[in-house]
Amino acid sequence: MIRLLSLILFAASTSFGQMDSTAISLYHQYPTFSDHYKKDLIKQSTGDTLLQAEYQDIYWFSEGLAYVSKNNSVSYIDTTGKFIVPFGLYEPYRGNALQCTFNNGLAVVHKNGKYGAINQKGELVIPLKERRLQAFENGKSIIILNGKHGVIDTNNAQIFPIEYDRIWIHPQLIVLRKNGKMAISNNSGTMLSDFVYDVIRAHKSYDGAVVTKKGKTGFLNFNGDVFLPCIYDQFRWQRNGFTWLEKDGFLLMLDKNGKTHDSLIDGELVFPRTVNDPVGMYNRDSIRYYDSNGANLGTTYKIRFDRSTQGFAEPYPFKNGLCVVYNGSYFGVINAKNEVHIPFEYTSLLPPSQLGNFIAKKGELFGLIDMNNRIILPFRKRPLVAYHNAEHLEKAIADETQLDSLLPLTKITAEEALAIAREKKLFYKNDWGSHYTDSYPKIQQEKGDIYWEFTSQKSGYTDKGDCANTNGCSIIYTRTIKINAVNGKVMGKKETKSIFPNYE
């Protein structure tokens, strides 16, 4: 259990964005486990132990090598269990563990306040010096000394001297800040702009850099040319040459030439959940979708007013080529070509679960439908939850089957049973009044008796006993109520209590 928990925590803290496909494959093949803060390395496919549990840290494989620390010393191990450098030469990296993994064929090493880099043979190819070195990225490393930043390449050649306030390295650009102003260069160190911008943002999906000057936003291309002048209020998004920005209360969609392709007053964006799916532009009145080539799908859909929040509900995004939309009267589903995939016949329709099922509503009745509009759970006056687990869905189907078989034998409806429970004040009462956890009861059968079952919960707190050492404990009280579905009599009432420590 300890090892399993450690694996889960390790995986949750790992950024796969920093790992290439080989590293990800090796990471899954060689998971790390922890036992009382000592880690060993297990080959998942065979269960063989590559390293015994005597190391403080073992990080994931990157470019075929994994970082290992022991007794304030570090080394790197390959996939056969061989160390490429002996322990004792270098100290653990101070800071983010990503800085010590292999990138671009090099790994940053550290000793006595000096930093350098080794190659995959363990050879020191960038000498140890009294300046900080960050992990290589796109063939470059940021060096830091006395709060100032510079850049070197994998051959230790200087690209920028150590005189800048901050530096950011991107796949096709380098962003620099000096004396409160920012500029960009290409990856060779050739300046593409002057230090005239207050803020510069670059991203791998952008066709350049977002720049801000005197509170207004513009855009530079990869050559440093002004694609959009700094006259816009805010940059929102860019895809396939189309750019979305805000200006004077309008959401603007600009084409590859910087010309307005479309606009929407008080507009917002709905980003697709999957690559190349349509993006939506909407306001409180309507929404329209555009494909990855910028073409309008051709239909303007409505925005639903949410009575529970007394506001307009945010429209749903496209995912895997499908989107739930509202035509002003009913909900349906369209595909990326704006073809109707599920007919507009539902008063409510939620996006699909991981199993591809939709919670649908007709009037006051809820049901579950699949991607092809086939009914999985029949429409009834009861709530439904999104089923992401096949086992849970199978149980729900079995419960519905039981309901169908028992309903003809009842004389007391679920609503009547609920009224009886309320009249007899069987529910817990909180500040907002008596309540129960299920908004619709379950029907059960036991020893020939058919009954409706409700659950009611309330919360509490204690700092007595062991809870005094855990910042108190939260208490959940649960009461299960049974009402005979034939004669309406109370068959039983059971109470349980669960205590949860509030660890600081």
Residue 43 CB neighbour total at 10 angstroms: 14
pLDDT band (50, 70, 90) for residue 381: confident
Mean pLDDT across 108-135 = 93
Report yes or no on 284 lying in a domain.
no
Of the listed ranges 31-35, 220-224, 382-386, the least confidently predicted one is 31-35
**97, 130, 163: which is the final residue of a domain?**
130
**96, 130, 164: which is the final residue of a domain?**
130
Of the listed ranges 51-55, 339-343, 424-428, the least confidently predicted one is 51-55
Report the C-alpha gap between 166 and 176 in whole angstroms.
6
Question: What is the model's pLDDT at position 235?
Answer: 96
| Total of domains in the chain | 2
Report yes or no on 375 lying in a domain.
no
Report yes or no on 10 lying in a domain.
yes
- Give 482-494 as a DSSP string: EEETTT--EEEEE
pTM of the entire predicted model = 0.74
Q: Using one digit for the tens of pLDDT, what is the confidence trace for 146-188?
A: 999 999 999 999 999 999 999 999 999 999 999 999 999 999 9
Q: Using one digit for the tens of pLDDT, what is the confidence trace for 226-243?
A: 999 999 999 999 999 999
- Determine contact, residues 376/416, Cβ cutoff 8 Å: no
Q: Using one digit for the tens of pLDDT, what is the confidence trace for 416-472?
A: 998 898 888 888 865 444 444 545 678 889 888 999 998 888 888 999 988 988 889
Q: 495: domain range? A: 410-501
Report yes or no on 249 lying in a domain.
no
* Model confidence at 190: pLDDT above 90: yes
Burial string for 19-38 (b: 16+ CB within 10 Å, else e) reads beeebeebbeebbbbbeeee
Q: Using one digit for the tens of pLDDT, what is the confidence trace for 155-166?
A: 999 999 999 999
**74, 104, 130: which is the final residue of a domain?**
130
Q: Using one digit for the tens of pLDDT, what is the confidence trace for 73-88?
A: 889 988 888 899 999 9
Report yes or no on 467 lying in a domain.
yes
Mean pLDDT across 77-100 = 84
- Give 185-223 as a DSSP string: E-TTS-B-S-S-BSEEEE-TTSSEEEEEETTEEEEEETT
Report yes or no on 352 lying in a domain.
no
Report yes or no on 390 lying in a domain.
no
* Model confidence at 496: pLDDT above 50: yes
Report yes or no on 113 lying in a domain.
yes
> 495: domain CATH number?
3.10.450
CA distances from 226 to 91, 192, 210, 217 (A): 46, 10, 10, 11
